[in-house]
Amino acid sequence: DQQVKQNSPSLSVQEGRISILNCDYTNSMFDYFLWYKKYPAEGPTFLISISSIKDKNEDGRFTVFLNKSAKHLSLHIVPSQPGDSAVYFCAASASFSDDKIIFGKGTRLHILP
């Protein structure tokens, strides 16, 4: 049973526009959330994280929003650039020090010229 769900397998966005990637989770014990980015033939690389005590965390062009009551988080990328084309994995854990991270299936983002 999937605890972290990324319901959009793929997403296409025009270069320069905003990309919004969504993620839902079912386990109310999750307290820490992460986004990883993965290029083909490479391992995932950490992008941004958020603790449940916050509802927003920003790092440059990347912002993660957390809605705990809805068990929903989203990653906003603005403006979208060609190098953002990749697979994005949402992940969650019971705390920031918990090594058992549960991953979603990923969303493939295509940035169109």
Partner 1 sequence: EADIYQTPRYLVIGTGKKITLECSQTMGHDKMYWYQQDPGMELHLIHYSYGVNSTEKGDLSSESTVSRIRTEHFPLTLESARPSHTSQYLCASSEDLGDQPQHFGDGTRLSIL
Q: Residue 20, interface with partner 1 (CB under 8 A)?
A: no
Contact window for partner 1 (CB under 8 A) among 20-28, 30-38, 52-60, 76-84 = 30-38
Contact window for partner 1 (CB under 8 A) among 13-21, 62-70, 71-79, 93-101 = 93-101
Are 21 and 88 spatial neighbours (Cβ–Cβ below 8 Å)? Answer: yes
The one among 34, 64, 77, 92 contacting partner 1 by CB under 8 A: 34
Tally Cβ neighbours within 10 Å of residue 23. 25
Q: Residue 101, interface with partner 1 (CB under 8 A)?
A: yes
CA distance 59 to 81: 15
- The DSSP string of 24-68 is EE--TT--EEEEEEE-TTS--EEEEEEETT-SEEEETTEEEEEET
Which residues sit at the interface with partner 1, rule CB under 8 A? 2, 4, 9, 32, 34, 36, 41-46, 49, 51, 89, 96-97, 99-106
